[in-house]
Structure 1
Amino acid sequence: MSDVKKNKPQTVKGRLVLKTFARTTKSESLGVYLETADGSFLIRPAGGNPFADNPLAELAGKYIEATGRKSDYVFFARSWREIPAPDA
């Protein structure tokens, strides 16, 4: 896949859940995951400190629409908004 296509911003919809990340390692922590029809992946604000508290954790259990870029198993959200459950 070319770099242009890989770095193209995309919009995803799903439900935020809190799950253990990096289980059984020294990096084990509670991560914020976005569960979508295409799978589950970590989500955090683009440009944010990965070691700081994730502001999306406050929305756990809610549905959001987020725009950003996916890199491996992390979605870096530039913007997000809460949406009603049926629209997700």
Structure 2
Amino acid sequence: MKKTELNGTVARARIAPGSKSDHVGVVLHADDGKEYVLRRSGGNAFRDTELEKLVGKAITGTGLTTGQTFIMDNWSAKKAR
């Protein structure tokens, strides 16, 4: 895991298609061109109402990245560009 600050836009997307974990979740389309599954430190991995409030907004978040998952511990949001 690596401490990271990322900027991007939050959206809903299908996560882990075809697996037992297949679900629609919240992702971050980062400004670096990558897509990260978005999680909140201490939040539910499958449905987090706090993260769902961010859908459609541009954010700057800090937290840990592990593979394609970004586990945020802090963020600031503004309307999407």
Instruction: Name the TM-score class by shorter chain.
Output: 0.7 to 0.9
Q: How far did 1:50 drift?
A: 1.7
What is the CA deviation profile of residues 36-79 of structure 1, one whole-angstrom value per residue up to 9, with x for unaligned ones? 1221111111132324x222112111111101110111001001
TM-score by length of 2: 0.83
SS state of the match for residue 76, structure 1? strand
- Paired residue for 1:13, among 7, 13, 17? 7
Gaps of 5+ in 1: 1-5
2:70 aligns with 75
Answer yes or no: is 1:25 the counterpart of 2:22.
no
What is the root-mean-square deviation in Å for CA atoms of aligned residues?
1.7
TM-score by length of 1: 0.77
Gaps of 5+ in 2: none
Count of equivalent residues: 79
**Which AA in structure 1 matches 2:16?**
A
Give identity over the alignment, percent: 29
* Greater strand fraction, Structure 1 or Structure 2: 2
* Greater helix fraction, Structure 1 or Structure 2: 1
